[in-house]
């Protein structure tokens, strides 16, 4: 038996399609475990008739617009870790499951055979964990490395042997899940039992343009039959129409939710691709000469930030943060680095890394507030981050 752990907040439409894909279009018997910390998650799943085996609600860690940026980020890091941990632990405890993967609701493993390809590579390498990661980013952030938290695959017997994810939130300081996974996996397994099955080079957009290993706005990995589409980056319906295109391409058509989805969003490839091109051209038209949506790897988030920026310095800063290398990039980076030196900007922003003489826990306490956490986590908070 295989296992699929899925974590999400509110992408229940995506969850419904992903579960139908696994349950009614794969050949394998699959145990599906889901975690969401959305207040109405369980009722939303039941209302959509989503056929899962296990649901557990994630910890109610505060995260809202009233929090400072750093406090909100740290709380979000802990929420993400908790939801991944909570979705995976029931599978780890299930002795019938041989291999399992973790996915987000919008990260679709379109075929069973694509999953098998990763498992077979793991067996050939003698690995217990097989992960995707951009090599350059891994080394830039090493130690402990940068590991994607979706499409990661585990040998379940080994995961149970090392008691994977036994540490609860606040037993580990808040950090990006991509760095936390590197720390946890290397310490649990040792480097010799980990395998990077892709560096993302084969991930492409709908028209074959490289995604440059950015999951936004989308990527398709034809080597492993994987699809990630952030529908919120495509306007009203284009993202869902793109998802429907790939479902049809892979003949993923079974399941009540998929049938309704295809009926509403399936359309001819030619018109869809023309509309996608027009959409990103409309964004490019709001950018200066020499800059286009492709400068940003079509990532809509920094494009919008750039368009809405209120100063030339802010726009240059946004450009330099893009890792999508192109002919324009070195010029922009050189100009911005010069500005940094002249006006003494902190490379990391005005608020970060400004307290080198403080104790680590004192810095954590500036952002981690006990009242942001549910009652069952307050004792752990008190032990790890109190004032004593």
CATH number at residue 174: 3.90.550
| Mean pLDDT in residue range 85-108 | 98
- The reply to whether 332 falls in a domain is no
pLDDT per position as a tens digit, 272-300:
999 999 999 999 999 988 889 998 999 99
**Which pLDDT does position 138 carry in this prediction?**
75
Contact 247, 17 (CB under 8 A): yes
Which residue has 């310095």 as its token pair? 313
Q: With bands split at pLDDT 50, 70 and 90, how would you rate the model's confidence at 332? A: low
Instruction: Read off the tokens for 127.
Output: 């690995």
Instruction: Write out the DSSP string of 277-321.
Output: HHHHHHHHTTS-TT--GGGGTT-HHHHHHHHH-SSHHHHHHHHHT
- The reply to whether 253 falls in a domain is yes
Q: Which of 21-30, 279-288, 317-326 has the lowest mean pLDDT?
A: 317-326
Longest pairwise C-alpha distance within the chain: 65
- The reply to whether 317 falls in a domain is no
Coil vs helix vs strand at 6: strand
Q: With bands split at pLDDT 50, 70 and 90, how would you rate the model's confidence at 355? A: low
| Mean pLDDT in residue range 350-355 | 50
Domain range enclosing 60: 2-265
Q: Is the pLDDT of residue 350 over 50?
A: no
Q: How far apart are CA 19 and CA 103, in angstroms?
A: 11
**Which pLDDT does position 186 carry in this prediction?**
93
Q: Is the pLDDT of residue 345 over 60?
A: no
More confident residue, 283 or 320: 283
Strands (E), 110-156: 129-132, 152-155
Instruction: Write out the DSSP string of 240-262.
Output: HHHHHHHHHHTT---SHHHHHHH
Q: With bands split at pLDDT 50, 70 and 90, how would you rate the model's confidence at 354? A: low
**Which pLDDT does position 347 carry in this prediction?**
43
CB-based contacts of 319-327 (< 8 A; 24+ apart in sequence): 319/291, 319/295, 322/295, 322/296, 322/297, 323/136, 323/137, 323/212, 324/212, 324/214, 324/294, 324/295, 324/296, 324/297, 326/294, 326/295
- The reply to whether 75 falls in a domain is yes
**Which pLDDT does position 143 carry in this prediction?**
63
| Mean pLDDT in residue range 308-337 | 67
- Cβ neighbors of 45 (< 8 A, separation 6 or more) are 12, 15, 34, 36, 52, 55
| Mean pLDDT in residue range 149-176 | 96
Q: Is the pLDDT of residue 349 over 50?
A: no
Q: Is the pLDDT of residue 352 over 50?
A: no
**Which pLDDT does position 348 carry in this prediction?**
42
- The reply to whether 104 falls in a domain is yes
Helix axes 238-249, 269-284, angle to 10 degrees: 140
pLDDT per position as a tens digit, 173-211:
899 999 999 999 999 999 999 999 999 999 999 999 999
Contact 158, 97 (CB under 8 A): no
Phi, psi of 8 (to 5 degrees): -160, 170
**Which pLDDT does position 367 carry in this prediction?**
84
Q: Whole-model pTM?
A: 0.89
Instruction: Read off the tokens for 262.
Output: 């295809």
- The reply to whether 193 falls in a domain is yes
Instruction: Give the number of domains in the chain.
Output: 1
- The reply to whether 168 falls in a domain is yes
Q: Is the pLDDT of residue 363 over 60?
A: yes
**Which pLDDT does position 181 carry in this prediction?**
94
- Across the chain, what does the average pLDDT equal? 89
pLDDT per position as a tens digit, 364-374:
888 889 999 99
- The reply to whether 21 falls in a domain is yes
pLDDT per position as a tens digit, 295-315:
899 999 999 999 999 888 888
**Which pLDDT does position 315 carry in this prediction?**
82
pLDDT per position as a tens digit, 112-147:
999 999 999 999 999 999 999 988 777 776 666 789
pLDDT per position as a tens digit, 34-72:
999 999 999 999 999 999 999 999 999 999 999 999 999
**Which pLDDT does position 93 carry in this prediction?**
97
């Amino acid at each position: 038996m295989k296992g699929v752990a899925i974590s999400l907040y509110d992408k229940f439409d995506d969850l419904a399609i992903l579960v139908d894909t696994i349950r009614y279009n794969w050949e394998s018997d699959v145990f599906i475990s889901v975690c969401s910390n959305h207040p109405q998650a369980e009722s939303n799943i039941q209302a959509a008739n989503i056929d899962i085996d296990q649901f557990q609600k994630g910890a109610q860690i505060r995260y809202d617009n009233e929090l400072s940026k750093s406090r909100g980020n740290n709380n979000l890091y802990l929420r993400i870790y908790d939801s991944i941990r909570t979705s995976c632990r029931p599978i780890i405890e299930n002795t019938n499951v041989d291999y399992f993967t973790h996915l987000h609701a919008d990260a679709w493993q379109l075929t069973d055979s694509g999953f098998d390809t990763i498992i077979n590579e793991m067996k050939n390498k003698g690995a217990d964990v097989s992960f995707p990661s951009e090599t350059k980013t891994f080394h830039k952030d090493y130690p402990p490395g940068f590991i994607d938290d979706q499409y990661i695959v585990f040998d379940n017997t080994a995961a149970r042997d090392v008691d994977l994810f036994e540490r609860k939130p606040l037993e580990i300081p808040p950090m990006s899940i991509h760095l936390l996974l590197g720390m946890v996996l290397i310490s649990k397994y040792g480097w010799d039992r980990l395998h990077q099955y892709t560096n993302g080079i084969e991930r492409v957009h709908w028209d074959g343009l490289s995604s440059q290993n950015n999951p936004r706005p989308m990527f398709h990995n034809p080597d492993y039959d994987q699809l990630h589409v952030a529908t919120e980056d495509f306007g009203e319906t284009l993202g869902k129409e793109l998802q429907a295109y790939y479902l049809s391409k892979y003949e993923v058509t079974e399941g009540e939710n998929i049938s309704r989805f295809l009926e509403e969003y399936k359309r001819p490839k030619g018109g869809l691709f023309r509309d996608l091109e027009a959409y990103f051209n409309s964004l490019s038209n709001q950018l200066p000469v020499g800059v286009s949506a492709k400068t940003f790897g079509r990532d809509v988030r920094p494009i919008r930030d750039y368009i809405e920026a209120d100063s030339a310095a802010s726009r240059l800063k946004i450009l330099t943060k893009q890792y999508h290398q192109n002919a324009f990039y070195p010029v922009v980076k050189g100009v911005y680095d010069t500005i940094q030196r002249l006006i003494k900007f902190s490379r990391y922003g005005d608020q970060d890394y400004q307290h080198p003489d403080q104790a680590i826990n004192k810095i954590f306490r500036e952002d981690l507030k006990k009242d942001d956490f549910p009652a069952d986590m307050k004792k752990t908070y008190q032990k790890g981050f109190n004032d004593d």
